[in-house]
């Protein structure tokens, strides 16, 4: 059984490498520096007096396919649709002279119409906004978190503009999908390789 499993994995790895679009991770334009720690990626950009970081994790970032809820990467013989990874991402804006960080929790809506139907142009939405003390990794649940569901749309638009001014706009969101998808695929291949060595290990 293990031999057949290892053989299957070998073939699968070959197939996946064949369809791998990026041998190295695609760059995000606009001077973002990329740091990757396993499945978590962080993009950092500094502009006058501010540091902007965007963090996302590729785990569970591929929406389930509609046909049947098979686990991702089921491979029938016919060409299957390309999987894209659309992770939630968190934008943190840190101003040099304050002790607070503005944190915006963003996600890619699943085919829903734009915010209240008036602009269908944004490919991502802001879900929550809060302030966190700068430099603390632990989220404080005691800090007020603004949920955008019931937000005045003018305020919401200003928040979107605020992000766009800092380089987090549709172009960025598109490139993030590209990067995340490449990263997810790379990690998937690595996982198959690890699984193969694990299965073969006597």
Pick the CATH number of 29-59+83-110+119-191 from 3.40.50.620, 3.10.280.10, 3.40.50.1370, 3.20.20.70: 3.10.280.10
Q: Is the pLDDT of residue 24 over 90?
A: no
pLDDT tens digit string along 41-89?
999 999 989 999 999 999 998 887 655 434 444 444 444 567 899 999 9
Q: Is the pLDDT of residue 119 over 70?
A: no
Q: What is the pLDDT of residue 45?
A: 96
Cα 113 to its chain centre, rounded Å, is 20
Where are the alpha helices (H) located in the chain, listed in sequence order?
2-19, 153-165, 170-200
Look up the pTM and report it.
0.83
Angle at 185 between CA 184 and CA 186, to 5 degrees: 90
- Split at pLDDT 50, 70, 90, the class of 112 is very low
């Amino acid at each position: 059984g293990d031999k057949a499993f290892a053989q299957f994995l070998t073939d699968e790895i070959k197939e996946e490498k064949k369809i791998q679009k990026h041998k190295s991770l695609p760059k995000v334009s606009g001077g973002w520096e990329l740091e990757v720690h396993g499945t978590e990626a962080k993009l950092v950009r500094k502009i006058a007096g501010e540091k902007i970081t965007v963090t996302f994790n590729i785990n569970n970032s591929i929406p389930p396919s509609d046909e049947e809820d098979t686990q991702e990467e089921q491979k029938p013989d016919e060409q299957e649709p390309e999987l894209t990874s659309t992770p939630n991402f968190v934008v943190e804006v840190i101003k040099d002279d304050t002790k607070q960080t503005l944190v915006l929790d963003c996600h890619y809506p699943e085919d829903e119409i734009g915010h209240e139907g008036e602009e269908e142009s944004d490919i991502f939405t802001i879900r929550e906004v809060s302030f966190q003390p700068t430099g603390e990794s632990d989220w404080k649940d005691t800090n007020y978190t603004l949920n955008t569901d019931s937000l005045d749309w003018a305020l919401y638009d200003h928040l979107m503009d605020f992000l766009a001014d800092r380089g987090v706009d549709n172009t960025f969101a598109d490139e993030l999908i590209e990067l995340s998808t490449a990263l997810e695929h790379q990690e998937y291949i690595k996982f198959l390789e690890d699984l193969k060595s694990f299965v073969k290990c006597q």
